[in-house]
């Protein structure tokens, strides 16, 4: 049973917004992933998006592409990502976890097997960048069987008619892609995002998260006024890559990630407290 | 595997979802879905529109130089001593390959859509050159994505593109070849989707690209059909074409698909030998999956990661293949075979010396297989090989392999 619905119900009741950090599983090394996830929760993350490394991450900007490459060099796969999730779940049974990735690793294992393995590991939802509603029917049936949410992207180019098609199949939350571009791009227009979110809300009561291009607490705070959740990906992936200690220790990467997510948490809280 | 096929089956693919059986489709990020829908709708309006078709035909006649000749390679056929080999001379097209048929068509679509900026991916550089050419002619801004490895091995085509006014953007991610160039082109498209037309160079990518590229390239097979009847009084016994993404092959094959007696062979890049794993032959040794917007046969590992490929020819160095080929393989209509680097190089030298035609290294794979096939045939049988491109661009590569220093780098 997905933890996403109950979490968003609670957040709404408390007039709070979710902070969703994104990391690439196994970047740069599987030893970092689980401690990093716990640290993100401690810093105020409500949900964690776990990127599944893929050889051809077509929607990612250079920062996250490099994260995928580092993780693949270390041998991280869909199955080892799910092992990391299981380890995280040994001491955290409550934070919703969402897998974000591409269709081919899922196709290779088979949708039914993926849904079973995700349920067993404690995954709450999936975002599959290249499975739009036109291609998702088979996958969605398997996810529903395991009560895992399928989270769809809506973009600035999505027509009203398509929003209806998408929201009819979506559950958990909607992921609004804040700009035309790849992850980590630098041309976010917060006014345009606000207008699009109003349109989306005319079609669905699902919570709406906003991602792509959110780099700091100020942008997160601005978007938290209109969104139910903000996703921070490239900024976190870049920070972790830059803070890797030369002594093989991950302490500074973990503390750097902690302070980034804390500051975004505070920014988001301030923006919604009045 | 063969099944009884109704002749009109081939006209029914792709279906309205862009699928060829289980292959094809539109596996792309949401941001691109509206652009694909717009392109599909425009193409559906134009594809039977007499004015559009006339404009396309006029360009093919006066700018490309069509029809391309069908040439009997008499001396080569004599030496082989079996079936007769005819070459469909796409190397004589303007820019030197079949690629321009498609870029002419897509540039017309860009014009109808009012897009002022075009992007393209390229492997060997032939599609990049063909895109830069039509962009120059129409005054469009053109950006070509090309893997860093391919830039090294195709320096002449890189400079041609620059002369034509295109910007060539080196791609340094992943394997630094055609696959990664396509990733980068898709990233550019998603960012600049409002003003940009993506000219995909092969029968891959999301629907409607595999369909419209096939339609534009089918001029090859339509001409070859008429030429074969005129020259020999009958249809060919076999067709042979190389397959990377598969656009020259589908262009030759498609108009013959309902002619059940015409055998067809798509020749993939066997690299160092399919058994070595160092090749680019997904139809021979791949598994269906999803990449670059469509479901098709892919070279991938047990975790669904796309594998690095190897071929002496940059244009065949791609881990996937057009979805229609995947379907034609499964239904048994086309035979997919391979030729190794060594076999292709041997055929390259043989046809150059015997016929005075220097073929592209991609094309040389088809020639290598045609030679084997002809040897098993009798003289009143004939094969049409798609001579998809000329080999000027590959001369530095061949010299290097043969250990000859031309004193230029």
pLDDT score of B217 more than 70: yes
Question: What total number of domains does chain B contain?
Answer: 2
What whole-number distance in Å separates Cα of residue B11 and Cα of residue B7?
Answer: 8
Last residue of a domain, one of B213, B248, B266: B213
* Residue A81 with chain B: CB contacts under 8 Å: none
- The one catalytic residue among B40, B77, B90, B121: B121
Collapsing DSSP states into helix, strand and coil, what is residue A208?
Answer: strand
Q: Is residue B72 part of a domain?
A: yes
Task: Tell me how close the Cα of A270 comes to any Cα of chain B, in angstroms.
Answer: 32
Q: Across the A/B interface, how many CB contacts are shorter than 8 Å?
A: 119
- Predicted local confidence at residue A246, as pLDDT: 66
Does B113 share its domain with B132?
Answer: yes
Q: Is residue B192 part of a domain?
A: yes
Residue that is written with structure tokens 């195709």 in the block: B154
- Predicted local confidence at residue A187, as pLDDT: 78
**B303 and A77: CB-CB below 8 Å?**
yes
Higher pLDDT, B206 or B405: B206
Does B260 share its domain with B385?
Answer: yes
pLDDT average, residue stretch B390-397: 93
Residue-wise pLDDT tens digits, A84-99:
999 999 999 999 999 9
pLDDT average, residue stretch B119-145: 96
pLDDT score of B5 more than 60: no
Q: Is residue B295 part of a domain?
A: yes
Q: Is residue B203 part of a domain?
A: yes
User: The domain that contains B145 carries what CATH number?
Assistant: 3.40.50.1100
Does B257 share its domain with B387?
Answer: yes
Residue-wise pLDDT tens digits, B299-335:
999 999 999 999 999 899 999 999 999 999 999 999 9
pLDDT score of B409 more than 80: no
**B304 and A58: CB-CB below 8 Å?**
no
Does B350 share its domain with B233?
Answer: yes
Does B29 share its domain with B119?
Answer: yes
pLDDT average, residue stretch A228-243: 93
Does B375 share its domain with B265?
Answer: yes
Buried-state track B183-202, b at ≥16 Cβ within 10 A, e below 16: bbbbbbbbbbbeebbbbbbb
- Predicted local confidence at residue B6, as pLDDT: 60
pLDDT classification of A264: cutoffs 50, 70, 90: very high
The CATH number corresponding to A4-272 among 1.25.40.10, 1.10.8.60, 3.40.50.300, 3.20.20.70 equals 3.20.20.70
Residue-wise pLDDT tens digits, A159-195:
999 999 999 999 999 999 998 999 888 878 889 999 9
Residues 50-69 in A contacting B (C-alpha not used; CB under 8 Å)? 54-59, 61-62, 65, 69
- Predicted local confidence at residue B26, as pLDDT: 98
| Domain membership of residue B270 as a residue range | 67-96+218-401
Does B299 share its domain with B310?
Answer: yes
* ipTM given for this complex: 0.96
Radius of gyration of chain A, Cα coordinates, nearest whole angstrom? 17
Does B237 share its domain with B295?
Answer: yes
Q: Where are the domains of chain A?
A: 4-272
Does B198 share its domain with B290?
Answer: no
pLDDT classification of A243: cutoffs 50, 70, 90: confident
Does B358 share its domain with B230?
Answer: yes
- The one catalytic residue among B175, B247, B311, B388: B388
- Predicted local confidence at residue B4, as pLDDT: 56
Last residue of a domain, one of B196, B213, B230: B213
pLDDT score of B3 more than 60: no
Last residue of a domain, one of B191, B213, B235: B213
Sheet bearing A97-101, strands edge to edge = A149-150, A125-128, A97-101, A48-51, A18-24, A229-232, A208-211, A174-177, A153-154
């Amino acid at each position: 049973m997905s933890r996403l619905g109950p979490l968003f119900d609670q957040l709404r009741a408390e007039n709070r917004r979710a902070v969703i950090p994104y990391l690439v599983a196994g970047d740069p090394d599987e030893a970092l992933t689980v401690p990093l996830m716990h640290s993100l929760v401690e810093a105020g993350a409500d949900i964690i998006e776990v990127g599944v490394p893929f050889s051809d991450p077509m929607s990612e900007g250079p920062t996250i592409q490099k994260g995928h490459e580092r993780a693949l060099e270390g041998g991280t796969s869909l199955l080892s990502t799910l092992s990391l999730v299981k380890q995280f779940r040994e001491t955290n049974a409550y934070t919703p976890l969402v897998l974000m990735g591409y269709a081919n690793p899922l196709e290779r294992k088979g949708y039914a097997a993926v849904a079973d393995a995700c349920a067993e590991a404690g995954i709450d939802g999936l975002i599959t960048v290249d499975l739009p509603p036109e291609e998702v029917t088979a996958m969605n049936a398997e996810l529903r069987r395991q009560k895992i949410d399928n989270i769809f992207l809506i973009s600035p180019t999505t027509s009203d008619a398509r929003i209806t098609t998408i929201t009819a199949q979506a559950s958990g939350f909607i992921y609004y892609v804040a700009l035309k571009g790849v992850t980590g791009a630098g041309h976010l227009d917060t006014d345009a995002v606000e207008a699009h979110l109003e349109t989306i809300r005319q079609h669905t009561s699902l919570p709406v998260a906003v991602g792509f291009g959110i780099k700091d607490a100020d942008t997160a705070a601005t978007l938290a006024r209109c969104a139910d959740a903000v996703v921070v990906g490239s900024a976190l992936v870049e920070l972790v890559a830059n803070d890797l200690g030369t002594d093989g220790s991950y302490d500074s990467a973990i503390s750097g990630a902690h302070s980034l997510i804390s500051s975004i948490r505070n920014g988001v809280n301030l923006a919604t407290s009045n | 595997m063969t099944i009884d096929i109704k002749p009109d089956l081939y006209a029914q693919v792709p279906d309205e979802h862009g699928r060829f059986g289980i292959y094809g489709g539109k596996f792309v990020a949401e941001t691109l879905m509206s652009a694909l829908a717009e392109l599909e709708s425009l193409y559906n309006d134009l594809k039977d529109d007499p004015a559009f078709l006339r404009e396309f035909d006029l360009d093919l006649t006066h700018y490309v130089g069509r029809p391309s000749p069908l040439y009997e390679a008499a001396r080569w056929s004599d030496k082989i001593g079996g079936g007769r080999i005819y070459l469909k001379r796409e190397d004589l097209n303007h820019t030197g390959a079949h690629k321009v048929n498609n870029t002419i068509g897509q540039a017309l679509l860009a014009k109808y859509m009012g897009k002022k900026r075009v992007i393209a991916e390229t492997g060997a550089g032939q599609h990049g050159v063909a895109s830069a050419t039509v962009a120059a002619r129409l005054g469009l801004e053109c950006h070509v994505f090309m893997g860093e490895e391919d830039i090294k091995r195709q320096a002449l085509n890189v400079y041609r593109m620059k002369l034509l006014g295109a910007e060539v953007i080196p791609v340094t991610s992943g394997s630094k070849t055609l696959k990664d160039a396509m990733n980068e082109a898709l990233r550019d498209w998603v960012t600049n989707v409002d003003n940009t037309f993506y000219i995909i160079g092969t029968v891959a990518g999301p629907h409607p690209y595999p369909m419209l590229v096939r339609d534009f390239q089918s001029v090859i097979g339509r001409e070859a059909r008429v030429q074969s009847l005129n020259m020999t009084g009958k249809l060919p016994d076999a067709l042979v074409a190389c397959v990377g993404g598969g656009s020259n092959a589908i262009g030759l094959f498609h108009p013959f698909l309902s002619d059940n007696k015409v055998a067809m062979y798509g020749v993939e890049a066997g690299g160092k030998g399919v058994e070595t794993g160092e090749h680019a032959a997904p139809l021979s040794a791949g598994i269906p999956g999803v990449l670059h917007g469509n479901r098709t046969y892919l070279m991938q590992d047990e975790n669904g990661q796309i594998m690095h490929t190897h071929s002496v020819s940059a244009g065949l160095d791609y881990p996937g293949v057009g979805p229609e080929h995947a379907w034609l393989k499964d239904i048994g209509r086309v035979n997919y075979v391979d030729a190794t680097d060594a076999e292709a190089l041997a055929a390259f030298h043989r046809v150059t010396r015997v016929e005075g035609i220097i073929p592209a290294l991609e094309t040389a794979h088809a020639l290598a297989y045609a030679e084997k096939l002809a040897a098993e045939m009798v003289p009143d049988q004939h094969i049409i090989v798609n001579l998809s491109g000329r080999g000027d661009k590959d001369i530095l590569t061949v010299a290097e392999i043969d250990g000859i220093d031309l004193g230029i780098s």
